[in-house]
Structure 1
Amino acid sequence: MKKTVAIDMDNVIADIETNWINLYEQEFGVRVDKKDLLGKPEDFAFPDPDKARSLLYKPGFFRNAPLMAGAVEALKEIQKDFEIYIVSAAMEFPNSLLEKHDWLAEHFPFISWKNIIFCGDKSVISTDFLIDDHLKNLDFHKGMPILFTAGHNINVNKHTRVNNWTEAVALLKENIEVV
Structure 2
Amino acid sequence: MAKQTIGIDMDEVLADTIKKLLRRFNEETSSNVTMDELKGTKIRNMMPEHQGVLTQILREDGFFRDLEVFNDAIEVVKKLNEYYDVYIVTAAMDVPTSFADKYAWLREHMPYLDPQHFVFCGDKGIVNTDYLIDDNPKQLASFNNHGVMYAAEHNVDYDEWPKVYNWKEVETYFLGENGEYKKHNKVNSETI
TM (normalized to structure 1)? Answer: 0.92
Q: Report the number of matched residues.
A: 179
Matches of 2:42 and 2:73 in 1, distance apart? Answer: 24
Change (3 A) 1:45 1:69: farther
Aligned to 2:132: 130
Partner-residue secondary structure (3-state), 2:92: coil
Matches of 2:172 and 2:145 in 1, distance apart? Answer: 17
Superposed CA RMSD in Å reads 1.7
Partner-residue secondary structure (3-state), 2:96: coil
Matches of 2:50 and 2:74 in 1, distance apart? Answer: 31
Residues 132 and 148 in structure 2, CA contact (< 8 A), matched pair in contact too: yes
User: How far is 1:106 from its partner?
Assistant: 1.1
Matches of 1:175 and 1:118 in 2, distance apart? Answer: 26
Matches of 1:120 and 1:157 in 2, distance apart? Answer: 23
Change (3 A) 1:172 1:49: farther
Structure 2: where are the runs of 5+ without partners? Answer: 185-192
Structure 1 segments of 4+ aligned residues over 4 angstroms from their partners: none
Residues 92 and 120 in structure 1, CA contact (< 8 A), matched pair in contact too: yes
Name which one, 1 or 2, has greater alpha-carbon Rg: 2
Q: Which amino acid aligns with 1:9?
A: M
Q: C-alpha deviations, 1:17-63, integer Å up to 9, x for none?
A: 11111211332332321111110134224585322343212222211
Query: Comparing 165-174 with 59-68, which one deviates more in the overlay?
Result: 59-68
Q: Is 1:176 the counterpart of 2:187 in the alignment?
A: no
Aligned to 1:102: 104
Residues 7 and 132 in structure 2, CA contact (< 8 A), matched pair in contact too: yes
Matches of 1:30 and 1:12 in 2, distance apart? Answer: 26
Structure 1: where are the runs of 5+ without partners? Answer: none
